[in-house]
Amino acid sequence: MRMKVAMINDCAFVGETLLKYLPADIEREHITRSRSLWSKTFGIAWKVFRTSSDIYHAHCLLQDCYIANRLGKKPLVGHAHGSDLRVSMRHWLWGRIVRHNLKRCDKILVSTPDVLSQAKSLRDDAEYLPNPVDKALFYPQPLPSRREKIKVFIASDCNWSVKGTDVAIKALSKIRSEVEVSIIGYGVDFERTVALASSLGLRLTALSRLPHSRINQYYWDADLVIDRFTLGSLGMVSLEAIACGRPVLAYVSSEYPENREFPLRDLKDEDEIAHTIKNLPPELWKEEYSFFNKYHDIDAVESKLLSIYRELS
């Protein structure tokens, strides 16, 4: 299939990974921007204006997608990654942009099942495209030698309302003598998280932020990875950790059909989380990895994406 794909912006490295694993005969261009005011407005508009492709794939249903729409870049895939539908859609201004993009894009994709119903409220044909993981960076490594304490890595950023970091801290504090906990030192609630842990007698080791290409080292150094306990779907850090050979604890809601084969669902109570960490099922990672391979393997995701591209071209 001869075509050119222009990936506009990115989110959680999903666009970069999708481009990386496209077939060799597909020409590709990644139109990126920074967070500076110029780059995310006039800068990205100029880049999009200058490009010519057979498919335009915009990540996040905000200004990047809106600019491509207004410039008549067709066919256009709008790819929602969560916060645009969970949060921005309720904003008096950003909500208008999100709804405009939902209606005007040629195809709408969503990256997590918890926002699919919101997308479908305006687009019946919206589809869930599971997030892929770069298998060149994230792959299984043997667990470290057995240690006296369970080495737990809280992998998502500190954000109580979105990630439920406070829930993880409260649960871990209940078994604080049996765990060694590390956390990356960033997020809007990092200082609150450290203060909460201290008040509960839980010692935290703060880790520095690493480039995405090196974050696998943190996963491999852990016995168990903890993600978010609020949204009901697997985050990217969960998927990367599973790909690295580590069991993951997160709130995965059985409310969503896409989650019902995941082995450990509806885990969000502090006592239940603590009990699960102490009595981790020995086959948990293998079962999680089986789910990951079935739905999030890059080859399976690319196959579905190429089918969508063919329908549009």
Domain at 51, CATH number: 3.40.50.2000
Same domain, residue pair 166 and 259 = yes
Position 165 in a domain? yes
- From first to last of the 313 residues of the chain, give the pLDDT tens digit: 689 999 999 999 999 999 999 999 999 999 999 989 999 999 999 999 999 999 999 999 999 999 999 999 999 999 999 999 998 988 999 999 999 999 999 999 999 999 999 999 999 999 999 999 999 999 999 988 878 999 999 999 999 999 999 999 999 999 999 999 999 999 999 999 999 999 999 999 999 999 999 999 999 999 999 999 999 999 999 999 999 999 999 999 999 999 999 999 999 999 999 999 999 999 999 999 999 999 999 999 999 999 999 999 8
Same domain, residue pair 45 and 26 = yes
Same domain, residue pair 222 and 104 = no
Report how far residue 140's alpha carbon sits from residue 242's, in angstroms, rounded to the nearest whole number.
8
Q: Phi then psi for 237, rounded to 5 degrees? A: -65, -30
Number of domains into which the chain is organized:
2
CB 186 within 8 A of CB 156: no
Same domain, residue pair 308 and 284 = no
40 CA to centre of own chain: 21
CB atoms within 10 A of CB 76: 23
Report how far residue 202's alpha carbon sits from residue 204's, in angstroms, rounded to the nearest whole number.
6
Same domain, residue pair 165 and 255 = yes
Domain that holds residue 25: 3-132+297-312
Position 144 in a domain? no
Supply the DSSP string of 149-204, one letter for each residue: SEEEEE-S-S-HHHH-HHHHHHHHHTTGGGEEEEEES-STTHHHHHHHHHHTT--E
Same domain, residue pair 124 and 154 = no
Position 141 in a domain? no
Same domain, residue pair 303 and 282 = no
Q: Give me the half-sphere count of Cα atoms (radius 13 Å) on the Cβ side of residue 161.
A: 4
Same domain, residue pair 194 and 289 = yes
Same domain, residue pair 156 and 286 = yes
What b/e string do you get for 171-192 counting C-beta neighbours within 10 Å, with b at 16 or more? Answer: bbbbbbeebbbbbbbebebbee
Position 137 in a domain? no
Q: What pLDDT is recorded for position 1?
A: 60
Same domain, residue pair 97 and 163 = no
Report how far residue 52's alpha carbon sits from residue 2's, in angstroms, rounded to the nearest whole number.
14
The one-character DSSP state at 42 is I
